[in-house]
Amino acid sequence: MTDPVTSAERAPSLRVNAIRLPVIVLAVISGSCLLAPLLPMLPAPIDGNVLAANQPWCAPGHPLGTDGNGNDVLSRLLHGGRSSLGIAVTVNLLGLTLGGLLGAIAARAGGMIDAVLMRAIDVLIALPSLVLAVAIAAALGPGHGTTITALTTFSVPAFARVARVATLRLEACPFITAAVLSGTNGMRLLLCHVAPNLLPHLGTFALLGMGVVILIEGALGFLGLGVPPPAPSWGNLIAHGQETLAARPALVLLPSTLLFVTVLCCNVLGEALRVRWSTG
């Protein structure tokens, strides 16, 4: 009854360049964040000179000025993006691999294994993601590793569910039956026949998940439980900028805009790819 293809294809006005444009924007953002440490004239994101604090736009050596601690704003934005994007990519790759395997195994095995795995996943999904992340992050203490652990804990079950449903669908395909009948063993069937067909589903889900993870990572940073200051991340830049909101709104608006554009591009791209791949 519900046909995912037609409904999404009809999304108005955004069909044009829905793939090329976000790819270019994402490439520019992630490229400059990735290359930030290599830029020779870019100052370090931390240990700024307090005497050079609060400089305006276009100050010499600081194209976007400096923050309250004398750190270069542009440098902090790019380095912040490095950690935010890095965390999002890691979390989604972990989720895709672990969750994908769990889901596929559950669907292939069926019976008790399926039931037990799915109940465990129900438990993890019953916890609001941010609550779970907060509890884990608070307990482990703030840091990169903690944030990744906390976010992976809820991305794995989400991927597992998608993978399970997709695997159950594959089971009906003749090539799986053919593989079973020709005596392919379970592991080989899973890795060589099921996994390649799951990847498009999981890949697009990961793109949509990127947006979610970036937002939640930001929320953790915002609550002071993400990447610990002075190291920058988009979330803690926004939280820190909020203290001087009325005087210098740019300190909030710049990281917010980058965050917004990145998430928007991930969503649009994920949606566009989903439509394209499901049309086959």
Partner 1 sequence: MANAVTSPPAVAAPQPVSVAAPTPPATGMPTARSGRTSRRGTRPVWRLVGGRILAALGVLFGVSLLAFVVLDLLPGSAAQQLAGADATAEQVARLTQALRLERPAHERYIEWFVGVLRGDLGVSLASGQSVRVILAERLPVTIELVALSFALALGTAVPVALLAARESGGLFDRLSAVICLAGLATARYVLAILLVLLFAVELRLLPAIGYIPLGTGIAGNLRTLALPVATLALPLFALYARFLRADLLEQLRGEEYIVTAIAKGLGPWRVLLRHALPNSLLGLSTLVGLHVGTLFGGTLVVERIFALPGLGQLLLQAVTLRDTVVVQASVLVLAAATVLGNLAVDLLYTLLDPRLRHD
Phi, then psi, of 59 in degrees rounded to 5:
-70, 150
CA contacts within 13 A on the Cβ side of 258? 27
Closer of 46 and 135 to partner 1 (Cβ): 135
User: Is residue 139 a contact residue for partner 1 (CB under 8 A)?
Assistant: yes
> Is residue 280 a contact residue for partner 1 (CB under 8 A)?
no
CA pair distance 188, 181, nearest whole angstrom: 13
* Helix, strand, coil percent values for the chain (each to nearest 5): 75, 0, 25
Among 4, 37, 61, 186, binds partner 1 (CB under 8 A): 4
3 binds partner 1 (CB under 8 A): yes
Is 260 a binder of partner 1 (CB under 8 A)?
yes
Residue (of 88, 91, 96) closest to 202 by Cα position:
96
Q: Identify which range of 32-40, 67-75, 121-129, 189-197 contacts partner 1 by CB under 8 A.
A: 121-129
Q: CB of 141: closest distance to partner 1 in angstroms?
A: 8
Figure out which of the listed residues 36, 101, 158, 227 binds partner 1, where binding follows CB under 8 A. 158
Considering only residues 166 through 195, tell me which ones interact with partner 1, judged by CB under 8 A.
166, 168-169, 171-173, 176-177, 180
- Choose the stretch contacting partner 1; rule: CB under 8 A; options: 11-19, 23-31, 33-41, 59-67: 11-19
Work out whether 135 is an interface residue with partner 1 (CB under 8 A).
Answer: yes
Is-contact 43 204, C-beta < 8 A?
Answer: no
Neighbours of 31 (CB within 10 A): 10
The Cα–Cα gap between 99 and 176 comes to 21
**C-alpha to C-alpha distance for 71 and 50, rounded to whole angstroms:** 8
- The reply to whether 212 sits near partner 1 by the rule CB under 8 A is yes
Q: Are 124 and 132 in contact (CB under 8 A)?
A: yes
140 near partner 1, judged by CB under 8 A: yes
User: How far is it, in rounded angstroms, from Cα 195 to Cα 199?
Assistant: 6
User: Among residues 25, 138, 179, 199, which is the contact residue for partner 1, using CB under 8 A?
Assistant: 138
Identified binder of partner 1 from the candidate list 136, 148, 227, 237, rule CB under 8 A: 136
How far, CA to CA in Å, does 242 sit from each of 11, 83, 246, 251?
A: 36, 20, 8, 8
Those residues with Cβ within 8 angstroms of residue 265's Cβ, 6 or more apart along the chain or in another chain: 21, 22, 23, 25, 26, 29
Tell me: does residue 155 bind partner 1 (CB under 8 A): yes
d(CA 246, CA 258): 20
Q: Mark the segment that binds partner 1 (CB under 8 A) among 20-28, 42-50, 58-66, 242-250.
A: 242-250
Regarding 219 and contact with partner 1 (CB under 8 A), the answer is yes
Q: Does 259 bind partner 1 (CB under 8 A)?
A: yes
- Binding to partner 1 in span 73-112, by CB under 8 A: 107, 110-111
17 forms part of the interface with partner 1 (CB under 8 A):
no
84, 154, 226, 233: which one binds partner 1 (CB under 8 A): 154
